[in-house]
């Protein structure tokens, strides 16, 4: 199982466009691999694009609210984790 670190939670999900709003507690960047986990949610994906206030950003930090296109349905309260590459 990959190592993960918490980076935030889902505050809203826009069903029609498949975009989730993440409330961040840590930094997140384009290209990061994330795990979204909740009662009925459990999947990994790579962040292809992020937006803050409808503007594309490459990186966001603690306290930011970012919009991210997600591959599956998510729910408010689901937790977002960054997948950390393990070095042997």
Query: Can you spell out the DSSP letters for 7-75?
Result: EEEEEEEETTTTEEEEEESS-EETT-EEEEE-SS-EEEEE---EEETTEEESEE-TT-EEEEE-SS---
Domain range holding 60? 3-84
Q: State how many domains the chain has.
A: 1
Please list the pLDDT of the chain residue by residue as tens digits (88 residues).
679 999 999 999 999 999 999 999 999 999 999 999 999 999 999 999 999 999 999 999 999 999 999 999 999 999 999 999 766 6
Looking up residue 33, the CATH number of its domain turns out to be 2.40.30.10
């Amino acid at each position: 199982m990959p190592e993960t670190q918490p980076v935030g939670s889902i505050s809203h999900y826009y069903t029609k466009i498949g975009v989730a709003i993440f409330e961040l507690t840590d930094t997140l960047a384009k290209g990061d691999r994330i795990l979204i986990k909740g009662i009925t949610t459990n999947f990994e994906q790579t962040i292809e694009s992020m937006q803050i206030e409808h503007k594309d950003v490459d990186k966001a930090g603690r306290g930011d609210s970012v919009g991210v296109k997600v591959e599956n349905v998510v729910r408010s309260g689901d937790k977002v984790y960054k997948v950390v590459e393990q070095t042997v």
